Structure 1
Amino acid sequence: MAVQTPATAQQPARLARGVLGPLALAQFICSFAGSNMNVMINDMSKDLNTTVHGIQVAITTFLLVMAALMIPGGKLTDRYGRKRCFLVGLAVYGVGAVLSAAAPGLGVLILGNSILEGVGTALLIPPVYILTTMLFTDLTARARAFGIIMAMGGLGAAAGPLIGGLITTAISWRAAFGFQALVIIVIILLSLRIKDPVPPDPHHAFDVQGAVLSAVGLVLVVMGILAASTNLWLTLGLIAGGVLVLAWFRFWVRKLERTGREPLISSSIFRVRASNLGLVTQNFQWLVLMGTSFTVATYLQVVRHYDAIQTGVIFTAATIGLLASSLRSEPLSKHFKQRTLIMAGFIGTAAGIGVLIGMVKGYPGPWAFAPGLLLIGLGIGLMLTPSVNIVQSAFPEARQGEISGVSRSISNLGSSFGTAIAGTILVADLTRSAYGAAMIVLAVIALAGLVVAARLPEGDQRT
């Protein structure tokens, strides 16, 4: 167990000014990157001479690269330090944003946005959660810090369509990537004063084979889902291959543990029931949020022929709802158990999807989307922070690198699944019925999240 330094003893207000700002802004821009492209589908596909499916592949690949590399990214913080990984991740992300802005075709866009921005995010996001957990040792202060970070993350995901739509309509979709690069520069400047609470250990073991196996397994599974709209046999083959590689990864982990070596993920990380259930709720939350965002944005642009700004304005309802509920998560946590908040969030989200299906079918106007999106935003915002707090607080400081990587990987895997599943249904048949089918699938997943949340331990602490 590392010894606390004076940095960990600073007052929460000072930490918020010196540390929380750049960490929250980093979470914002990464979440923004995952959703802002949804309103650029028509503009980008025409400019890059590709299709809706091509843009979907780029979006999903970005989310997938994050998910596949988040666990190795979390482990690297022990070896190279949290601040160093954070800054390197920001730099890689910035280069990817610039390359994406200048992309002449889909291939370069995938290299810049999907690969480089994905790798950068996998390096910079684990330190955000590790530093927050290490620096905010008081449960109330930690809950407040996570509340701000998750609010900024949710705001980035929900406001991404609006901000992206405004920039795309006023200037160009390329300027949206320029905006990301500028924000990255600001974060780097703000981050220079961050102090790493624990010195890095350059001799810390790193499981290269485990990192490769876990990444390949996750990539194969998600790529299998993406292939469902074109080749069912390829889908089955890719998913089966992914499952086999992940089984090999599990065998490798057990082998390293038996020989006394440190694996990429210790099997004991999954022996905490509350944490396991919290991870599942995180996965479902981001799956529903990103799946809904992609489904509604695609439907508005491809079927109803709305432009980027019109689509973005409609998503304002989700932004308002998410921001309102996430900022209230800390006061609510003093009166309600975290399990209760997560269950209420899934109920609100499922209700919102139901309203979206019913209202859009009965009312042709654009504002028919607002009530449902508002409910979804309220529901997601209500449960983001409790889920993260349950998972992070279940482990001591020495294991924060490991659990942070796992937590962010599970969440981003949910985002990948959401875009892949919803996109596959839509691409197969871009009609009103396909929209309804995608939304029904997302509603079922939200209800499944409610069932999982109900199984969280009743004795979880109020923060």
Structure 2
Amino acid sequence: MTGPPRERTPSPGEHDPRPVRAIVFPLAFAQFVASYAATNMNVAISTIAADLDTTVVGIQTTITLFTLTMAALMVAGSKLTDIWGRKRCFVAGLAVYGTGALLAALAPGLGLMVFGYSVLEGIGSALLIPPIYILITVAFPDLRTRAKYFGVVSAAAGLGAAAGPLIGGLITSAISWRASFVAQVLAVAWIVFLARRITDPPRTGRRPRFDLTGAVLSGAGLFLVVLGVLLSSTYGWFESRKAFTVGGVDVVPKGGVSPVWIFVVAGALVLAWFALHIRRRERVGKDPLLAVRLFRSRTSDLGLVTQTLQWLTLQGIFFVVSVYLQQERDYNAVQTGLMLTPATAGILLASAVAGRMADRHPQRRLIRAGFGATVAGLGLLLVLAHDTTRVLPFVPGLLLMGIGFGVMLTASVNVVQSSFAESDQGDISGLSRSVSNLGSSLGVALAGSVLVAASHPGGRPFVLALTILGTLAAVGWVVALFLPRKQAPAEPAPPAEPAPPTEAPSVS
């Protein structure tokens, strides 16, 4: 006999696991695919460069532009979730992403590869990733339950980044690097099919206007900063290794100040302009791309810094080890992926118990433990794996780093997302994902500036790159010291001023 239907509770998974599976699985799988796309090409850099008749620098630029596009557009993408709806934005992002993956699979040269992989997959990710975290937040109001499913999604992100080299290596060696992009197309099609069961709670109140000027300023500022760092592999950090020309004119002569700083300073100025712009829009009662109050939470601000440093270190390490193994030891894609398996296993082990750790320990302690394990793992890698041809010396360091990443990824996400009420989840989700992808871009760019500029990535460049990444991980540990021991409950956002009714959202 069937009884009356149960009333909806704050945590649907406590009574019936089916709504949880319908919501969490496609969201976590989508996050896995997006994270996989950021690292799977690392193990096939040499193969792709040879097939497309380009250079390692060209493929490094393509990888960096992918994460840079995500970082530059993530905030704008999150705002569109408030305008289009979370589920609609999620599915639209999947469609754009799948189209980009298909074009990359068919690319005859670097140009179409950049357009399909770096541009379209980057835009698609910027549209689909913010709704993942927003839908988890609104579906599970209870902090412990939310932490549990944040752990699932964060584990999927870390696992995708860590398993990308292995899975990509296996597919590349068994079939072709193009098959890896075809696999992404098929995965995205399946996620779109599963997404039909996702429920998106209706938005209350008026829809915001899209701040086009703010989107352009934020995207341009982030793009210029990371582009400047990327140029360091060609021109160096301080003294320009060669002339920097624009339209045949030497803007910076050889031996002058590196053009890196032209772009970094220009990006910083544009971001300062963006900050003034959103402050001015708020004062006159218009909808800014980001609310200024998002930057007034000390807990969230520190959490965003730890997120940036986590992903910078993670992606930087994968890039350093992948390039070193392929360029210095002539490893193929499968061998490179297998070498990184201990890091994947470490992330899996830590992520499997992320929910229980969140119940027993403050998020601050977990983030510190994660950074501490990462620094220790890097130390082991430098001591044991430097200048050796054996495999086993790499295992302890990579395993410990994987455990460190798995421990802290979920904690940082929970710190940031839980600092704000539901009305701010769209904005903070986009900002959180933007800084994470900015960290990924900077990690590849910084590591590449050391390795790619060297004639051989082994020896001193390998040690220097890992030392820089270890120093930044130590900075993350210090930042985590200033996180509060107990997180205060999120305060609701101030009510929006009533606006005249409009038939459709507009761009202003």
Q: Please confirm whether the aligned pair reaches a TM-score higher than 0.5, indicating the same fold.
A: yes
Relative to structure 1, is the Cα distance of residues 285 and 9 closer, same or farther in structure 2, using a 3 angstrom cutoff? closer
* Residue aligning to 1:260: 285
1:380 and 2:382 are equivalent in the alignment: no
* Residue aligning to 2:306: 281
Tell me the distance in 1 between the aligned counterparts of 2:27 and 2:206: 24
* Residue aligning to 1:239: 264
Secondary structure in 2 matching 1:252: helix
Q: 1:421 aligns with which of 446, 459, 469?
A: 446
* Residue aligning to 1:291: 316
Alignment of 1:272-351 (within 5 A): 272-351=297-376
Tell me the distance in 2 between the aligned counterparts of 1:461 and 1:316: 38
Q: 1:138 aligns with which of 142, 145, 151?
A: 142
Deviates more, 1:352-361 or 1:41-50: 352-361
For residue 398 of structure 1, report the CA deviation from its aligned partner.
Answer: 0.6
TM-score normalized by the length of structure 2: 0.88
Q: 2:182 aligns with which of 178, 184, 187?
A: 178
Amino acid at match of 2:139: L
Amino acid at match of 1:51: T
Tell me the distance in 2 between the aligned counterparts of 1:11 and 1:319: 28
For residue 228 of structure 1, report the CA deviation from its aligned partner.
Answer: 1.1
1:431 and 2:457 are equivalent in the alignment: yes
Q: Quick one: percent identity of the two aligned structures?
A: 51
Tell me the distance in 1 between the aligned counterparts of 2:403 and 2:115: 35
Contact kept, 8 Å, 1:314 with 1:367, in 2: the verdict is: no
Secondary structure in 2 matching 1:366: coil
Amino acid at match of 1:339: R
Tell me the distance in 2 between the aligned counterparts of 1:230 and 1:222: 14
Alignment of 1:17-36 (within 5 A): 17-36=21-40
Amino acid at match of 2:162: A
* Residue aligning to 2:53: 49
For residue 363 of structure 1, report the CA deviation from its aligned partner.
Answer: 3.5
Contact kept, 8 Å, 1:8 with 1:134, in 2: the verdict is: no
Secondary structure in 2 matching 1:14: helix
1:38 and 2:38 are equivalent in the alignment: no
Relative to structure 1, is the Cα distance of residues 319 and 389 closer, same or farther in structure 2, using a 3 angstrom cutoff? same
Q: Cα RMSD between the aligned structures? A: 1.5
Q: 1:454 aligns with which of 470, 481, 504?
A: 481
1:78 and 2:105 are equivalent in the alignment: no
Q: 2:436 aligns with which of 411, 414, 417?
A: 411
Tell me the distance in 2 between the aligned counterparts of 1:200 and 1:316: 46
Relative to structure 1, is the Cα distance of residues 456 and 418 closer, same or farther in structure 2, using a 3 angstrom cutoff? same
Tell me the distance in 2 between the aligned counterparts of 1:390 and 1:208: 29
Gaps of 5+ in 2: 1-6, 241-257, 490-508
Deviates more, 1:258-267 or 1:24-33: 258-267
Tell me the distance in 2 between the aligned counterparts of 1:344 and 1:313: 26
Gaps of 5+ in 1: none
Deviates more, 1:426-435 or 1:237-246: 426-435
* Residue aligning to 1:153: 157
Amino acid at match of 1:288: T
Contact kept, 8 Å, 2:154 with 2:409, in 1: the verdict is: yes
Contact kept, 8 Å, 1:37 with 1:59, in 2: the verdict is: yes
Tell me the distance in 1 between the aligned counterparts of 2:160 and 2:382: 24
Tell me the distance in 2 between the aligned counterparts of 1:252 and 1:332: 41
Tell me the distance in 1 between the aligned counterparts of 2:140 and 2:54: 47
Alignment of 1:187-202 (within 5 A): 187-199=191-203
Deviates more, 1:364-373 or 1:242-251: 364-373
1:445 and 2:472 are equivalent in the alignment: yes
For residue 204 of structure 1, report the CA deviation from its aligned partner.
Answer: 2.0
TM-score normalized by the length of structure 1: 0.97
For residue 202 of structure 1, report the CA deviation from its aligned partner.
Answer: 7.7
Tell me the distance in 2 between the aligned counterparts of 1:240 and 1:175: 40
1:354 and 2:379 are equivalent in the alignment: yes
Q: Deviations over 1:118-142 (max 9, x none)?
A: 0000000000000000001111110
Tell me the distance in 2 between the aligned counterparts of 1:154 and 1:268: 29
Tell me the distance in 2 between the aligned counterparts of 1:129 and 1:220: 27
* Residue aligning to 2:503: none
For residue 10 of structure 1, report the CA deviation from its aligned partner.
Answer: 3.0
Amino acid at match of 1:439: L
Contact kept, 8 Å, 1:284 with 1:445, in 2: the verdict is: yes
Contact kept, 8 Å, 1:7 with 1:197, in 2: the verdict is: no
For residue 14 of structure 1, report the CA deviation from its aligned partner.
Answer: 3.0
Q: Which has the larger radius of gyration?
A: 2
Secondary structure in 2 matching 1:256: helix
Secondary structure in 2 matching 1:367: coil
Tell me the distance in 1 between the aligned counterparts of 2:387 and 2:84: 56
For residue 7 of structure 1, report the CA deviation from its aligned partner.
Answer: 8.6
Amino acid at match of 1:436: V
Contact kept, 8 Å, 2:82 with 2:207, in 1: the verdict is: no
Q: Deviations over 1:59-109 (max 9, x none)?
A: 000000000000000010011000000000000000000000000001100
Tell me the distance in 2 between the aligned counterparts of 1:223 and 1:363: 34
* Residue aligning to 1:11: 13
Tell me the distance in 2 between the aligned counterparts of 1:86 and 1:111: 21
Contact kept, 8 Å, 1:165 with 1:312, in 2: the verdict is: yes
Contact kept, 8 Å, 1:79 with 1:202, in 2: the verdict is: no
Relative to structure 1, is the Cα distance of residues 197 and 257 closer, same or farther in structure 2, using a 3 angstrom cutoff? same
* Residue aligning to 1:162: 166
Contact kept, 8 Å, 1:341 with 1:383, in 2: the verdict is: yes
Amino acid at match of 1:442: L
* Residue aligning to 1:119: 123
Q: Deviations over 1:300-350 (max 9, x none)?
A: 001111000000001110000001001111111222111001000000001
Tell me the distance in 2 between the aligned counterparts of 1:206 and 1:173: 38
For residue 366 of structure 1, report the CA deviation from its aligned partner.
Answer: 2.4
Q: Deviations over 1:382-401 (max 9, x none)?
A: 00011100110110111100
Tell me the distance in 2 between the aligned counterparts of 1:30 and 1:7: 31
1:248 and 2:273 are equivalent in the alignment: yes
4+ runs of 1 displaced by more than 4 Å? 5-9, 200-203
Greater helix share, structure number = 1
Tell me the distance in 1 between the aligned counterparts of 2:486 and 2:325: 44
